[in-house]
Amino acid sequence: MAVTEVSQTALVSGHRRRISILGATGSIGTSTIDLVRENPDSFDVSVLTANRSVGELANLAREFRPDVAVVADERGYAELKSLLADTGVEVAAGADALIQAGQQAVDLTVAGIVGAAGLDVTIAAIRQGSAVALANKECLVCAGDLVLEECARAGTTLLPLDSEHNAIFQVFETENAGDVEKLILTASGGPFRTWSREQMVAATPEQAVAHPNWDMGRKISVDSATMMNKGLELIEAAYLFPVAPDDIEVLVHPQSVVHSLVAYTDGSMLAQLGPPDMRVPIAHALAWPARMQTPVARLDLAAIGSLDFEHPDDERFPAIGLARSAFDAGNGSTAVLNAANEVAVESFLNNLIGFLDIARLVSEVLERVEARRISSLDDFRALDDEARAMTETLVKSGS
């Protein structure tokens, strides 16, 4: 079931919302926390999680007094326990604890963990039946069919947090879904939009994470630089909205003001505009179906002056094509694409491979690993492990 068709009853307005923030110490988590701070009468934070940022997590837990604070990396348990000893906040650590935190009964879960590491806990949150605001796009790329099946089974509302998908969600006329001609996902083009291939060969991690418009975590910043982020988003959009992948177009829009568009059969295009600040789509999800105040800078269209759009360059940015082909090939291929990309990005950030090697490795792993169809989480884990191992072998061998 696409998000535009799901039940709209999960969020009841007019009472304080209990929320879980998965990945509270990251970029999405920090923006969410900022909005909660601005609206102290609207939210109670029930769950906060992090991976290794124990000090930061402890500070947040001290401020918001959730029922439980979870550090995924078990090595952080003793420190977190000691930092929160006098607070009454339950402290837990490890993969099982993370899943249990996802099961906590809340009104809304913000899924802000990065990568496939967020899949199990996001599914746990979905199974508990209330709304899930999904930033962690890799969940859909890895196991979109399973995620949507779980949503349908539990009656869970999935609210898109990614700015492009949130934009589409805001202007998608569910009642006229049959009259949607295409979706247009906009892309900033990343820091290397105007670089030649020769320059990109020597691009460093520092240059790749220096995004011109958005302040994000390191992995998604590299994904934006390769434009794999847009490839992942294309797959995400194909799961979220009832539109064929061939009818989802990508346009580079360097100002990041128009966050995406829906084109209808009468020639109308509806777009959502806003400043490049994730607090806008997060606020939309936190308050949905109502709206809430945010402190973000308002758009000054006259100061911006003009908005530019261009087609992406598939030669310098092959990742979008790889993602499109993987989606066409089936859900095993998108899982392989994601695993290979996660390992390749990490390898690039650790200076083990060059920038252009990221898409090259993803392409090679897609050719080498047999992308069996995924029907269960066990199927996914087996394929994910295999694709990661293959990518690591290729990185080590330098091929």
Ligand X SMILES: NC(=O)c1ccc[n+]([C@@H]2O[C@H](COP(=O)([O-])OP(=O)(O)OC[C@H]3O[C@@H](n4cnc5c(N)ncnc54)[C@H](OP(=O)(O)O)[C@@H]3O)[C@@H](O)[C@H]2O)c1
Considering only residues 112, 191, 231, 318, which one is a binding residue for ligand X as defined by CB under 6 A? 112
Under the binding rule (CB under 6 A), the answer on residue 29 touching ligand X is yes
DSSP E strand boundaries for the chain: 17-22, 43-50, 68-71, 90-93, 108-111, 131-134, 158-160, 180-187, 248-252, 258-264, 269-273
The single residue among 34, 42, 44, 53 that binds ligand X, judged by CB under 6 A, is 53
Task: State which of residues 67, 107, 120, 138 lies at the interface with ligand X (CB under 6 A).
Answer: 138
Per the omega criterion (within 30 degrees of 0), is the bond before 281 cis? Answer: no
Residue 95 and residue 119 in contact, taking contact as beta carbons nearer than 8 Å: no
Instruction: State the nearest-atom distance from the C-beta of 277 to ligand X, in Å.
Output: 9
Among 6, 28, 344, 390, binds ligand X (CB under 6 A): 28
**Residue 322 neighbours by CB under 8 Å, 6+ apart:** 228, 231, 337, 359, 362, 363, 366
CA angle, corner 368, sides to 367 and 369, nearest 5?
105
Single out the segment in contact with ligand X by CB under 6 A; choices: 131-139, 166-174, 268-276, 346-354. 131-139
- Residue 347 token pair: 């390898």
What DSSP assignment string belongs to 29-84?
A: HHHHHHHHHH-TTTEEEEEEEESS-HHHHHHHHHHH--SEEEESSGGGHHHHHHHT
Joined together, the tokens standing for residue 43 give 């939210």
Examine residue 296 and tell whether it contacts ligand X (CB under 6 A): no
- If one asks whether residue 334 binds ligand X (CB under 6 A), the answer comes out as no
* Binding test (CB under 6 A) with ligand X, winner from 37, 52, 75, 291: 52
- Chain positions 66 to 105 lying near ligand X, rule: CB under 6 A, are 72
Residue 375: which of 157, 153, 149 has the closest Cα? 149
User: Does residue 346 bind ligand X (CB under 6 A)?
Assistant: no
| 51 scored as a contact of ligand X (CB under 6 A) | yes
Of the candidates 11, 26, 91, 259, which one interacts with ligand X according to CB under 6 A? 26
Going by their DSSP bridges, the two strands 43-50 and 68-71 should be labelled as parallel
222 binds ligand X per the rule CB under 6 A = no
* Choice from 19, 84, 216, 263 touching ligand X (CB under 6 A): 216
Complex with ligand X: residue 136 or 260, whichever CB lies closer:
136
Is residue 396 at the binding interface for ligand X, with CB under 6 A as the rule? no
Binding of ligand X at residue 136 (CB under 6 A)? yes
CB of 134 to ligand X, least distance (A): 9
Residues of this chain that interact with ligand X (CB under 6 A) are: 23-29, 50-53, 72, 112-114, 117, 135-138, 162, 214, 216-217, 219-220, 278
